[in-house]
Amino acid sequence: MPKYTLRFRAVNKDIFLNIKSGRKTVETRAASEKYRNIQSGDSVVLVCGKDRFQKKVKKAKIFTTVRSLLRSYNLKRIMPELNSEKNGKKNYINIRITKRKLKSLA
């Protein structure tokens, strides 16, 4: 099975730690060439600075819109710190990934 590396910048260490602790159970990435082929059962190594840990992908799906992503997953699983779909959409729009397909790694 392939192994992929998901890198987090130091400013996103909170996201990295939420995944590590299990508080955040769904990670999304733009379905670029780099992430498009991730499938269920693949291993991902999550890295932030010198910290790293490994997880197995339970489910991978490509979404064409943020709305379809949020219909499939509870916002708290994706962004545990947010409390509304509206805020979740704003967050995605601000980082400009709504025009690209989204890959969810549940």
Cα end-to-end span (Å), the chain: 17
pLDDT along the chain (106 residues), means of 10: 90 94 92 89 96 95 84 86 63 47 53
| Domain range list for the chain | 3-105
Domain 3-105 sits in CATH 2.30.130.30: yes
The C-alpha atoms of residue 5 and residue 83 are separated, in whole angstroms, by: 29
Question: Which residues are CB-neighbours of 60 under 8 A, at least 6 positions away?
Answer: 38, 39, 40, 42, 103, 104, 105, 106
The C-alpha atoms of residue 57 and residue 65 are separated, in whole angstroms, by: 21
